[in-house]
Structure 1
Amino acid sequence: MPAWLVFVVIGTVSGVAAGLFGVGGGLIVVPALIYWAGFPQHMATGTSLAVLLPPIGLAAALEYYRNGNVDVTAAIVIAITMFLGAWLGARIASHVSGAHLRLLFGIFVCCLGIYLVYGAYERLR
């Protein structure tokens, strides 16, 4: 499969996931770039961050806003602090090997998954 088609599939899947669940960059794009496109960990992370620049999420955010589902104050505060946090995280990541970074990412995703499944299970009981 040509690289551009792999990127189209990654973009489409992550776009749908972003619109449905508010996820896409770290949970979909990074692993997809590593396993489907053969990117090294650092390249996948950097590319995912470049993808997440404002125009990408704008359409979904506007639709949620139109339906009264965006807290603008929270979004601004989180965006500013996320900007600073992303800079700090990138500085740290540049000093960590790709294998260690991938391991930490996997642990993070597993812990998040367990937390979400447990919370959903508790609400269903």
Structure 2
Amino acid sequence: MSAWLVYVAIGIASGVAAGLFGVGGGLIVVPALIYWAGFSQHMATGTSLAVLLPPIGIAAAFEYYRNGNVDVPAAILIAITMFLGAWIGARLASHVSGPHLRLMFGLFVCCLGVYLVYGAYERLG
């Protein structure tokens, strides 16, 4: 499959996930770039961050805002502090080997998954 088709598939999958669940960058784009496009961990992370620049979320955020589902002051504060946090994280990541970074990412996703499944199970029971 040509590279542009892989990128289109990644974009559609992550866009749907972003619209449905508010995720897409780290949870969809990074693993997809690694396993479908052959990117290194660092290249996938950097590319994912470039994808997440403001134009990507505008349409979905506007739709949620239109339906009264956006806390604007919270979003602004989180965006400002996320800017600083992303810079700190990128600086730290540049000092970690690719395999170690991938391991850390995998552990993060697994822990997050367990937390989400446990919380959902508790609310169902």
Shift of 1:102: 0.1
**Are residue 115 (structure 1) and residue 115 (structure 2) matched?**
yes
Aligned to 2:73: 73
- Normalising by the residue count of structure 1, what TM-score does the alignment of the two structures yield? 1.00
Secondary structure of 1:68 counterpart: coil
- Normalising by the residue count of structure 2, what TM-score does the alignment of the two structures yield? 1.00
The RMSD of aligned alpha carbons is 0.2
Q: Percent identity?
A: 86
Aligned to 2:84: 84
Task: Read off the aligned partner of 1:10 and give its amino acid letter.
Answer: I
Task: Read off the aligned partner of 1:57 and give its amino acid letter.
Answer: G
Aligned structure 1 segments of 4 or more residues deviating by more than 4 angstroms:
none
Shift of 1:89: 0.1
Q: Take 1:118 and 1:62, find their aligned partners in 2: how far apart are those partners?
A: 31
Q: Take 2:29 and 2:58, find their aligned partners in 1: how far apart are those partners?
A: 17
Shift of 1:107: 0.3
Q: Take 1:55 and 1:25, find their aligned partners in 2: how far apart are those partners?
A: 14
Number of equivalenced pairs: 125
**What are the within-5 Å matches in structure 2 for residues 34-113 of structure 1?**
34-113=34-113
Shift of 1:60: 0.1
Structure 1 residue ranges without an equivalent (≥5): none
Structure 2 residue ranges without an equivalent (≥5): none
Cα offsets for 1:45-82 (capped at 9, x unmatched): 00000000000010000000000000000000000000
Q: Take 1:21 and 1:13, find their aligned partners in 2: how far apart are those partners?
A: 12
**What are the within-5 Å matches in structure 2 for residues 27-38 of structure 1?**
27-38=27-38
Shift of 1:88: 0.0
Task: Read off the aligned partner of 1:51 and give its amino acid letter.
Answer: V
